[in-house]
Chain A
Amino acid sequence: MMISKKVDQNKLNISDIFHNTSDLIIHEFETNFGIRAIACYIEGLIDKNLMDRDVLKPLISGLNKPKNIKKIIFVSQVKEMDSMEDIATQLNYGKVALFFEGNNMGYTIELNQWEKRAVEEPNSGAVVRGPKEGFIEDIVTNKSLLRRKIRSSNLIFEDYTLGKQTNTQISLAYIKGIVNENVLKEVRKRLGGIDIDSILESGYIEELIEDSPLSLFTTVSNIEKPDVVAGKILEGRVAIFVDGTPHVLTVPRLIVEGFMTSEDYYLRPYFASFLRILRVISLILTIYLPGVFVALQLYHQEMIPTVLLISMAGAREGVPLPVVLETLLMIIVLSLIKESGLRLPKNFGSTVGIVGALILGESAVRAGIVSGVTIIIVSIVAISEFIIPEMVQSIALYRIIILLLGSFAGLYGITCGFMVITAQIVSIDSFGVPYLWPLAPMDWQGTKKDVFVRAPLWRNIFRPRAIERRNIKRQTPPWGK
C-alpha cells in the first residue's frame, strides 16, 4: 500500500493495518511552520523521553520542509520508506513512524527501548571460575555480548525473520575463515525451509532443524553463556541466536560436548581431566546402574560379592514390591521431586527437598516399602545425572528402557539394549559431522587431546578436524617457531 500525501488517509490506513489495536499510539501535531504531521508508535516499545526531546521538540520548533528531517532531528537511524506494510512491520520492532502532510514518504526512527532483564548469571552452567554473565532475552544485547568476546571483523551475524505470526528475529553467528562453509550452507538451507507460524523459543528451531528428530539424543546444543558460544564458534561451529530467549543454539553438536563445560578450559588440566572422566563415569552410572542393579538381583546373584549379597538380601526382607517395581517407583518419585522443585517458587523448593529426602527416603525404608539399597542406587543415579545436565533429556528415558530390559532378561537384555542404542547413536550425523566423533570414527589425535582428558592448552594445537578441515591450526606452539 502506497503512502498517501494526506496525513488523515495515512492515519486511517495504519489504524486499519493494526485493526485499531489499543497499544498503537498515533500522535498528531503541527510544526511551527504549519506542517501537519503524525507520529505512530507502539506503546512500551519506545523511549518516550527521547522521542519528546530529540524528535518532537526539534520537529515542532524547526521543520519547514519534510525533506529536511535528517537535518533537524538528533537520532542516528532515520529511514525513508514508501510502503505502508514495511512501516507497519517496523513499528513492531519499536520504531517510530512519521508522516507529513503533502509528502508521500514515511520516515522510521529507531527509538526502541523496552523492559529487559539485566545481564546476570544464568541458572544453568554456573561456574566457580570464568565469566558469570549469561545471555538475556534481547537478541541485540546477546549479539553484543558475543561481539565483546570476539572483537574481530571476521565475526559475522546474518539476520533472518522467521515465524509468520511472531516475526521472530533469528541471527546466525560464525567466524569467516574458521566456519565450515558446508555446515553454514546447510544451516541456511534448513532455516529457509522453516515455515511455521510462531517461534517462541530456540527449542522450536532446534526441533525443526535437527538431523535425527526421533532420536533420544539431540544434535543441537543450547547454551546460555557468551563465553561458551564464543568457544564453540571459534571451533568452526555456527551459532543461532533467537530473539526472546537466552538459549543460543550451536551446530554441529558432538556427543562429547555433553561432558564438556567451559570451566574445563579455565581450570588446571589435571583437575579438568579428572572432572571429564568423572562425568563419563557418571553418564555410565546414571544410565546403567538401575538396570544392572535389577539384573544382578534377579538373575545374576552369583556375581554379587557374598557380603554385599547378604546385606542386600537383608535389606529386601519384608519389602512387598518386586525389585523392578521398587526401583521404577523410586525413579519416578525422584523425577517428581526434581520436577516439582524446579517448577515451584524458590521458597517452596527447599520444602520439596526436605519432603523428598526425609519423608520419602528415610520413612519409606523404615516402613519397609522400599529397601535401603534401592534408595542408595537411585540417589547415586540422581547425583550422577546432575553433573551432566546437558544430557538429562536424553538419558532419563534411556535409563528406564535399560531398567526394563534388565528386569526382563538380565545382563543379556542390557547388552542388547546397549547395542541397539549405540548403533543408533553411531548412525547419527549432526550437520554432516559424525555424532560420535572423535570416538567413532576414531580420531586418536582428537581423542587424546580433548575428550576424556583435557590436554594443556599449548598441546591443543588444532581445532576439531571433524567440524572443519581447512585452517584448523589454533596456534603455533613454542617449539614450532
Chain B
Amino acid sequence: MKWNTIFLIVCTMLGIFLIGCWNARELNELGISLVMGLDEEGDDILLTAEVVDPSFTQKDGGSVGQGGPVKYVQGTGCNVFEAFRDVVLKFDRRLFVSHNKVVIIGEDLAKNGVAEHIDELFRDREQRETAHVLIAKGAKAYEVMGISSGLESIPANYISNLIKNIKENPKAMDMNMIENLKHFYHEGHQSIMGVIEKRGIGQIDKMVEETDIQDYELSIIGSAIFDEGSLVGYLNGNDTKALNFIMDRIEGGIITFPTPDSALGSKSEFSSKHRELSSVVIINSKTKNDVKIKDGNVVLSTKIRLRGSIGEVVGNIDISKEENLKQMEKACSKSIEEGIKTAITKVQKQFGLDVFGYGLVFHRKYPKKWMGIKENWDQVFSKADFEVEVKTDIIRTGLINTPVIRKKER
C-alpha cells in the first residue's frame, strides 16, 4: 500500500520534472503584438507588428512616445514565417502574437491572393483564430496601422473597438480568422472580409474653422469580396448591411425607411420641407435562407423575422394606433427587402460570386444535384431569381407615442 502510493507519486512527479521548464517565458521577455499587418513588397512579404510597450502602465516610470505606447516593427521574408524570424534580428523581444486582435492585409497582397499566405496564421500554436481580419482598402497595411483618432491610447484597441461597434451599425463586416478559414474550405460560399480605410478628418474640423486635413481617421465601412482567395472588389456600407442580413449576422443597428402616410390623411405642415424618414432599432433578427428549384430555374429565397422598437419618427403619424404601427412595420420590411434586392442584384451583375452562401444551402438541400452544379455554381447564382420576405414586429415605441411635429387634433 505504502509503496504503491510512493510509486504513484514518483510517477506523477516524473511527468512534471521530465518536461522541466520547457517553454517558460517571463513577461518581460515578450513583445506583445496587438496588430499584425501583411503586405507585399516585390516578391517578398512585409510583416508589420504593433508591439505594445508595457512600461506606459507604470505612472512614474516609462515614457509615452509619439503615436501612443506602441512600437512598430517590420520584417521581410519570402513567406510569412520567414518575415517573423526576420524581426528577431531587429527587435529585442520575441514577438508574442497570442494577443493579436486584428490582422490587416494590404490591398496588393489581397489582390494577388491571400489564401497562400495565411497558412502560418493558423498553423502556429501561438496565433489566435479569433483575431479579426481586415483588408486595407486602397492602401498598404502599414499605412493604416498607427492611426488612432479615438480615445484609446493603443491603436489596436481603437480598431478592435470599431469592430465591436458593428453591432450598433452593421454596415461593416466582422470576420475573424476561423470564419475565414471556413469560407476557404466551403464550397458554394466565396469569402468576404472586413475593410479598413484611411481617410482624412475633415468634417469635424470645419466646426473650428481649421480646414487643414492633416490628421487621419480609420473607417471600417464596407466589405471586401474574394474570388478563391483573391480580392476582386468592395461592397459599400448599405450592401454590406444587406449581406449581414442574409448571413444572419445582425446583432443590432437601425433600419431607416420613408414614413408611411398617416391614416388620418392630413399632412404635416413641416412635411414639405423634410424628407419624412423614420427609423426602427433592431432588437433581434433571424434569417432563414432557402433555395428552390422552380421550372428548372434556381430561386433563392430569404426570410427575415425582425423585432424592433421605434427609434425616430419624422412625419405626421399617430403610432399609438395599431393600424398605423402596422403601416410602419410594412414600410420597415419593404425598406429591408429593397436593400437586400439591390445588394443581390449588384453582386450578381458586378461580381457574379456567391458571397451570401446560398450555395451551402443548395448543397445541403440537393446534395446530388450539387455534384453536377458545383463547378459552375457562381454562374448559376448570378442568373438565379430571388425572393425576399421580411416580417417586422415593432414591439416598443420608445418613450413617447406621438411624433413631436404632429399637429394637434382639434
Interface set of A (CB-CB < 8 Å, partner B): 297-299, 301-302, 306, 309-319, 322-323, 405, 407-410, 412-413, 416, 419-420, 423-424
Residues in A neighbouring B62, C-beta threshold 8 A = 314, 317
A317-B99 contact, Cβ under 8 Å, with A408-B16, A408-B17, A419-B12: no
CA distance A44 to B30 in the complex (A): 72
22 contacts between A and B (CB under 8 A): A298-B24, A298-B25, A299-B23, A299-B25, A306-B32, A310-B32, A310-B54, A310-B154, A314-B55, A314-B62, A315-B57, A316-B26, A316-B54, A317-B62, A323-B27, A407-B21, A409-B19, A409-B20, A412-B19, A416-B15, A420-B8, A424-B5
* B241: interface (CB < 8 Å): no
* B203: interface (CB < 8 Å): no
| Structural contact, A309 and B99, CB atoms closer than 8 A | yes
Residues in B neighbouring A299, C-beta threshold 8 A = 23-25
Residues in A neighbouring B154, C-beta threshold 8 A = 310
| Structural contact, A405 and B96, CB atoms closer than 8 A | no
| Structural contact, B57 and A302, CB atoms closer than 8 A | no
Contact code string B42-78 (vs A, CB < 8 Å = 1, else 0): 0000000000101111100110000000000000000
CA distance A407 to B21 in the complex (A): 7
A302-B126 contact, Cβ under 8 Å, with A309-B32, A315-B58, A316-B28: yes
Residues in A neighbouring B128, C-beta threshold 8 A = 302
Interface residues on B, range: 35 or more
| Structural contact, B34 and A306, CB atoms closer than 8 A | yes
Residues in B neighbouring A318, C-beta threshold 8 A = 28, 61
If over half of A's interface residues share one DSSP class (helix, strand or loop), that class is named, otherwise mixed; here it is helix
* A317, A410, A413, A424: the one within 8 Å of B54 (CB): A317
* B21, B57, B98, B99: the one within 8 Å of A311 (CB): B57
CA distance A409 to B55 in the complex (A): 28
Residues in A neighbouring B61, C-beta threshold 8 A = 317-318
| Structural contact, A314 and B56, CB atoms closer than 8 A | yes
* B189: interface (CB < 8 Å): no
A346 to nearest B CB, angstroms? 37
| Structural contact, A413 and B58, CB atoms closer than 8 A | no
| Structural contact, B12 and A317, CB atoms closer than 8 A | no
Interface set of B (CB-CB < 8 Å, partner A): 5, 8-9, 12-13, 15-17, 19-21, 23-28, 30, 32, 34, 52, 54-58, 61-62, 96, 98-99, 101, 126, 128, 154
Q: Which residue of chain A is the closest to B97 with respect to CB atoms?
A: A302
| Structural contact, A306 and B101, CB atoms closer than 8 A | yes
Q: Which of A299, A306, A312, A319 has the most CB of B within 10 A?
A: A306
Q: Which residue of chain B is the closest to A298 with respect to CB atoms?
A: B24
CA distance A199 to B334 in the complex (A): 92
Using A298-B25, A319-B28, A322-B26 as known contacts, list a sample of 20 further A-B pairs with CB atoms less than 8 Å apart, ordered by residue number in A. Answer: A297-B26, A298-B24, A301-B98, A302-B99, A306-B32, A306-B34, A309-B27, A311-B57, A312-B54, A314-B62, A315-B58, A317-B62, A318-B61, A408-B19, A412-B19, A413-B16, A416-B15, A416-B16, A420-B12, A423-B8
CA distance A306 to B102 in the complex (A): 13
Q: Which residue of chain A is the closest to B101 with respect to CB atoms?
A: A306
| Structural contact, B25 and A420, CB atoms closer than 8 A | no
* A302, A323, A405: the one within 8 Å of B98 (CB): A302
The 4 closest A-B pairs by CB, nearest first: A314-B57, A302-B98, A314-B54, A313-B54
| Structural contact, B20 and A408, CB atoms closer than 8 A | yes
Residues in B neighbouring A319, C-beta threshold 8 A = 28
Q: Which of B26, B52, B61, B98 has the most CB of A within 10 A?
A: B26
B25 to nearest A CB, angstroms? 6
Q: Which residue of chain A is the closest to B9 with respect to CB atoms?
A: A420
| Structural contact, A313 and B28, CB atoms closer than 8 A | yes
Residues in B neighbouring A301, C-beta threshold 8 A = 25, 27, 30, 96, 98-99
| Structural contact, A416 and B27, CB atoms closer than 8 A | no
| Structural contact, A409 and B28, CB atoms closer than 8 A | no
Q: Which residue of chain B is the closest to A294 with respect to CB atoms?
A: B24
CA distance A237 to B305 in the complex (A): 66
B178 to nearest A CB, angstroms? 15
Q: Which of A318, A322, A408 has the most CB of B within 10 A?
A: A408
Q: Which residue of chain B is the closest to A313 with respect to CB atoms?
A: B54
CA distance A309 to B31 in the complex (A): 11
CA distance A316 to B101 in the complex (A): 23
CA distance A302 to B96 in the complex (A): 9
A271 to nearest B CB, angstroms? 38
Residues in A neighbouring B12, C-beta threshold 8 A = 416, 419-420
CA distance A407 to B126 in the complex (A): 20
* B23, B30, B126: the one within 8 Å of A313 (CB): B30
Q: Which residue of chain A is the closest to B126 with respect to CB atoms?
A: A302
* A306, A410, A419: the one within 8 Å of B99 (CB): A306
A412-B16 contact, Cβ under 8 Å, with A313-B30, A314-B58, A318-B61: yes
Residues in A neighbouring B23, C-beta threshold 8 A = 299
Residues in B neighbouring A302, C-beta threshold 8 A = 98-99, 126, 128
Q: Which residue of chain B is the closest to A305 with respect to CB atoms?
A: B99
A316 to nearest B CB, angstroms? 5
Q: Which residue of chain B is the closest to A410 with respect to CB atoms?
A: B24
CA distance A437 to B101 in the complex (A): 47
CA distance A317 to B52 in the complex (A): 13
| Structural contact, B52 and A310, CB atoms closer than 8 A | yes
Q: Which residue of chain A is the closest to B156 with respect to CB atoms?
A: A306
CA distance A319 to B19 in the complex (A): 26
